[in-house]
Amino acid sequence: MSERVNQAILFLAHGTKEIEASQPVFEYAKALSEELNMRVEGCLREFIEPSIPTVVKKLIEDGVEKIYVLPFFLFKSGHVTRDIEEDIQAEREKHAHVEFVVGEPVGFDPRLVSVLKARAKDVLSR
């Protein structure tokens, strides 16, 4: 899939107890993988698997040495500023030979306005 076989993206979303509701996370991970031509694994921070430790373990078993964490959160909530950092620090302590790079949440991005515009048109047409 990728020439960067020792690198992967951990695409991290909040999670929910409803398995079907989490499916878009894995669809986004697959689409990102295809767009970036590298491994992207969907991951859920809470409630159900695959969790951060589960995905990290799988990546390391597959020889990944550098993991980029891409938080799929809109803003810097407590999860982003505290919990995710703590979760990744725990993984760093368990796997000192692996490099972890944590990205920023989505935040405001003018490119998303077109998606929101489409959603607004959908609801306004009802």
For residue 5, the model assigns a pLDDT of 65
Q: Which pLDDT tens digit goes with each residue over 42-86?
A: 999 888 999 999 999 999 999 999 999 999 998 888 777 788 999
Tally of CA atoms within 13 A in the half-sphere of 2 that contains its CB: 16
DSSP H helical segments within the chain, as ranges? 23-36, 52-61, 78, 84-94, 113-124
CB-based contacts of 38, cutoff 8 Å, min separation 6: 1, 2, 4, 7, 8, 9
> With 50 as the cut, is the pLDDT of residue 1 above it?
no
User: What is residue 98's predicted lDDT score, i.e. its pLDDT?
Assistant: 97
pLDDT, the chain, mean:
92
Q: Maximum CA pair distance of the chain?
A: 54
Where residue 63 falls (left for φ over 0; alpha for ψ -120 to 50; beta otherwise) is left
| pLDDT tens readout for residues 6-19 | 999 999 999 888 88
Please tell me the predicted confidence (pLDDT) of residue 17: 85
Instruction: Kindly state the average pLDDT of the residues 83-107.
Output: 95
Is the pLDDT score of 2 beyond 70?
Answer: no
Q: What's the CA gap between 39 and 64, in Å, rounded?
A: 10
